[in-house]
């Protein structure tokens, strides 16, 4: 059974996803790209849950701070005229809100984003428009990049699928379908390039053997830098996208 635990931790109001799990023998608190979550036994009380969270308050706030993109506070969902910047390809882009008949997002010539919105647009419509924009941007990047790396591969990918992933950045299915995390479109282009090359090299070596990494290195000698970037910033990027596309 899932619900939301709302309480104040060291003076900060928080909402924590709570799961009452019959298999759970003790309380467990985790923070990842989906935010803070508490797993607890079925018979555990509300008071014990609150006490457990507060006892781990310093750790929890430190983990949440690691998901911040700046010092201004928590990431927020989209708000008409109030959201002034949005992430794209490793940088924050200015957002211009423009009333329109249909809700959609365009990339302006100066690199800023034009968020055209209907006066009746709700949170779901805003999130869908931003999701469609990010998907279009990802697809516009992946075509030329794939063509660049096709020579030397045994075959081309069957298709590309973009979706939000919990921990992985990409995967290659047996039918040569490549799945990529949509949040890569928020990261610097080099990070997306690394994940793409990684998955394409699995067409040559369906493993992570030295031979596989040799194929990656032959194409991207600096791949460890991109892997390290994802290791340091990836959780924050995934969390940011989830917050932006969340619908209350």
Q: What is the pLDDT of residues 70-106, one digit of tens each?
A: 333 345 678 898 999 999 999 999 999 999 999 999 9
Angle formed by the axes of helices 46-55 and 57-66, to 10°? 70
Residues of the chain within CATH 3.30.2010.10 domain(s) are 131-245
pLDDT of residue 76: 63
- The pLDDT score that the predictor gives to residue 73 is 38
Whether the per-residue pLDDT at 123 is higher than 50: the answer is yes
Strands (E), 24-77: 28-32, 35-40
Give residue 33's pLDDT. Answer: 66
Work out the percent of the chain whose per-residue pLDDT is above 90: 60
pLDDT higher at 197 or 34: 197
Among 52-56, 187-191, 244-248, the range scoring the smallest mean pLDDT is 244-248
Cα pseudo-dihedral 118, 121, 126, 127, rounded to 10: -150
What's 103's DSSP letter? -
List CB contacts of 82: < 8 A, sequence separation 6 or more.
none
For the domain spanning 131-245, the CATH number is 3.30.2010.10
Task: Say yes or no to pLDDT of 69 above 90.
Answer: no
Instruction: Look over the chain and give the mean of its residue pLDDT values, rounded to a whole number.
Output: 89
CB 80, CB 97: distance < 8 Å = yes
Residue 72: per-residue pLDDT: 35
Among 27-31, 213-217, 236-240, where is mean pLDDT lowest?
A: 27-31
pLDDT level of residue 22 (50, 70, 90 thresholds): confident
Mean pLDDT of 41-53: 87
Answer whether residue 248 shows pLDDT above 70: no
User: Is the pLDDT higher at 195 or at 47?
Assistant: 195
- The CA distances from residue 248 to 6, 243, 244, in Å, are 15, 10, 11
Element (H, E) at 214: helix 210-219
Of the pLDDT bands very low, low, confident and very high (cuts 50, 70, 90), residue 10 is confident
**Cα–Cα distances in angstroms (integers) from residue 215 to residues 40, 75, 191, 220, in the given order:** 45, 38, 17, 9
Summarize the confidence of residues 207-225 as an average pLDDT: 97
Each residue's pLDDT tens digit, 167-180:
899 999 999 999 99
């Amino acid at each position: 059974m899932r619900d939301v635990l709302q309480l104040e931790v060291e003076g900060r109001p928080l909402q924590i996803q709570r799961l009452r799990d019959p298999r759970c023998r003790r309380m467990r608190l985790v923070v990842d790209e989906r935010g803070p979550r508490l797993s607890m036994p079925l018979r555990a009380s509300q008071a014990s849950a609150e006490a457990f969270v507060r006892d781990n308050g310093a750790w929890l706030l430190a983990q949440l701070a690691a998901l911040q993109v700046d010092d201004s506070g928590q990431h927020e969902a989209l708000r008409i005229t109030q959201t002034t910047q949005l992430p794209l390809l490793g940088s924050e882009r200015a957002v211009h809100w423009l009333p329109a008949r249909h809700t959609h997002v365009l990339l302006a010539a100066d690199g800023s984003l034009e968020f055209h919105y209907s006066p009746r647009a709700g949170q779901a419509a805003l999130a869908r428009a931003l999701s469609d924009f990010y998907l279009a941007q990802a697809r516009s990047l992946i075509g030329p990049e794939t063509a660049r790396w096709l020579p030397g591969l045994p075959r081309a990918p069957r298709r590309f699928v973009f979706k939000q992933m919990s921990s992985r950045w990409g995967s290659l299915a047996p039918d040569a379908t490549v799945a990529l995390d949509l949040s890569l479109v928020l990261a610097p282009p080099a990070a997306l390039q690394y994940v793409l090359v990684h998955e394409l090299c699995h067409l040559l070596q369906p493993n992570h053997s030295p031979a596989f990494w040799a194929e990656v290195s032959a194409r991207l000698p600096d791949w460890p830098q991109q892997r390290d970037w994802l290791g340091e910033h990836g959780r924050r990027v995934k969390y940011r996208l989830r917050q932006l596309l969340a619908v209350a």
